[in-house]
Amino acid sequence: MKKDFILDQISWITQVQRNYDFDSALVFDSFWGFINFAQLNRLTTGIIFKNKEELTEESNINRSDLTEEGYEFYKMCYDKYCDGVIDRGKNAMDYELLERYLKKLRG
């Protein structure tokens, strides 16, 4: 049996000290956007969250939440996607980047 571990948790990003104004809602948006896309594309082992309103500071993504393909997908693009939403103001529901990486992964 593989060891389970937390891949990301909302509070790990929202509680980082910054020297600039930061909108923590963007973290929730990016977290939900990625999870929603992964669930819609069968990259998760089940439903992690049903909607964004369920998310809290302690919400996380565990390795066991993702299929093997989902974990590879996570490693390929999760940080890029979240950086785009959080740092560059991209719409979290704009799945262009995620769709491009999923197509690449599935060949």
**CA atoms of 26 and 64, how far apart (whole Å):** 25
Task: Record the pTM.
Answer: 0.94
pLDDT tens-place values along the chain, 107 residues long? 578 999 999 999 999 887 778 889 999 999 999 999 999 999 999 999 999 999 999 999 999 999 999 999 999 999 999 999 998 999 999 999 999 999 999 99
Strands (E), 1-107: 6-9, 60-62
**CA atoms of 38 and 79, how far apart (whole Å):** 14
State the sign of the Cα–Cα–Cα–Cα dihedral 76, 8, 18, 95.
positive
